[in-house]
Amino acid sequence: MSLLEVRDLTMQFGGLTAVDRFNLNLNEGDIVGLIGPNGAGKTTVFNCLTGMYAPTSGEILLSGQRINGLHPYEITRLGMARTFQNIRLFKQLTVYDNIRIAFHSQSRYNLAAAVFRLPQYAKDEREILEKTEELLEIFGLYEHRNEIASSLPYGEQRQLEIARALATNPKILLLDEPAAGMNPQETEGLTNLIRWVKERFGLTVFLIEHDMRLVMKLCERIVVLDYGITIAEGTPEEIQNDPQVIEAYLGEEVL
């Protein structure tokens, strides 16, 4: 059984069909890329998967369980986490707190335990702190832990967003243009980092990206979307030589 199965997902906004009968099969451990020109509906697919939009029709199954119609927080608790195209950190909070917030659904203590400092509170908070520090170490953000998130350089904000997504303990990580705004060296570093955290945390990764170096290097399979319609799916080599894909990207020297 596949970890994530999407069947004929369609999302309409009024008369506009942003995503038209989108299908996807993610098996455990896959890294799959979603590419397509601007406005192709890539982020809309992400928004449907995470419950931010209720799809017009179609089915989304996570480990065999139907998840369309669930609230975003419920889907997150079932093991889906994401980052955003335009960074959406809790800007006024510290790096520390940004990550600790994402442990929300895993903390078990209640308010009484917190106010009276019962053992459960201390134990949970200690666990959260340890896991937070581990994530910060992995992403090289430890020395910035007490800084306000918005004061970090752009690349590190992106890394913090990925770290925060990991803190929700996901099975599937959705990355929306993780390399946007990064220079080639940073992109290289990010490519390795994604591969490494995927192994380390046993993740399945589904990512949107415009940077073809990253996509071609990282992804085992690629889905191409244009005007909401899936125009191609295959290995990086197949995609690079697909005439329809080349036409959709005509004028762009990415392939």
Partner 1 sequence: MQEVIQQLVNGISLGSIYGLIALGYTMVYGIIRLINFAHGDIYMIGAFVGYFAIRNFNLSFLPALLVAMAVCAALGTAIERLAYRPLRNSTRIAALITAIGVSFLIQNAALLAWTPDPRSYPDVFPLRTYEIGGVFVDNRQITILSVAVALMVVLHYIVNFTQIGRAMRAVAIDADTARLMGIDVDRVISFTFALGSALAAAAGVLVGIYYNRIEPTMGAMPGLKAFVAAVLGGIGVIPGAMLGGLVMGVAEVAVVALTASTWKDAVAFAILIVILLVKPAGLLGRQVREKV
Chain residues 82-101 in contact with partner 1, contact rule CB under 8 A: 82, 84, 88-93, 97, 100-101
Does 76 bind partner 1 (CB under 8 A)? Our answer is yes
Secondary element (H or E) of residue 2: none
Tell which one of 61, 109, 142, 231 touches partner 1 (CB under 8 A).
Answer: 109
Chain residues 27-46 in contact with partner 1, contact rule CB under 8 A: none
> Rounded to the nearest whole angstrom, what is the least distance from the CB of residue 158 to partner 1 in the complex?
14
**Sheet with 172-176: strands ordered across:** 80-82, 172-176, 204-208, 31-35, 221-226, 229-234
> Rounded to the nearest whole angstrom, what is the least distance from the CB of residue 218 to partner 1 in the complex?
23
232, 242 Cβ separation under 8 angstroms:
yes
Q: Which is nearer to partner 1, 51 or 228 (CB)?
A: 51
Tell which one of 28, 56, 63, 72 touches partner 1 (CB under 8 A).
Answer: 72
SS3 238: helix
* Region from 124-132, 185-193, 232-240, 241-249 binding partner 1, contact rule CB under 8 A: 124-132
Does 115 bind partner 1 (CB under 8 A)? Our answer is yes
Note every long-range contact of 101-106, with CB atoms under 8 Å and residues 24 or more positions apart, other chains counting: 101/164, 102/164, 102/165, 102/167, 102/168, 103/128, 103/131, 103/132, 103/167, 103/168, 105/73, 105/76, 105/77, 105/168, 106/168, 106/169
Q: Residues 238, 198, 240, CA angle at the centre, nearest 5°? A: 15
Q: Which is nearer to partner 1, 109 or 249 (CB)?
A: 109
Does 73 bind partner 1 (CB under 8 A)? Our answer is yes
49, 68 Cβ separation under 8 angstroms:
no
Chain residues 182-211 in contact with partner 1, contact rule CB under 8 A: none
> Rounded to the nearest whole angstrom, what is the least distance from the CB of residue 90 to partner 1 in the complex?
5
Site string for partner 1, 126-145 (x = CB under 8 A): --x-----------------
Size of the site for partner 1 (CB under 8 A): 37
Tell which one of 63, 85, 114, 198 touches partner 1 (CB under 8 A).
Answer: 114
Sort strands 4-13 and 57-62 into parallel, antiparallel or unpaired.
antiparallel
In a 10 Å sphere around its CB, with 0-12 CB exposed, 13-18 middle and 19+ buried, how is residue 180 labelled?
middle
Q: Which is nearer to partner 1, 104 or 200 (CB)?
A: 104
Q: Which is nearer to partner 1, 176 or 211 (CB)?
A: 176
Q: How many distinct helices (H) and strands (E) make up the chain?
A: 10, 10
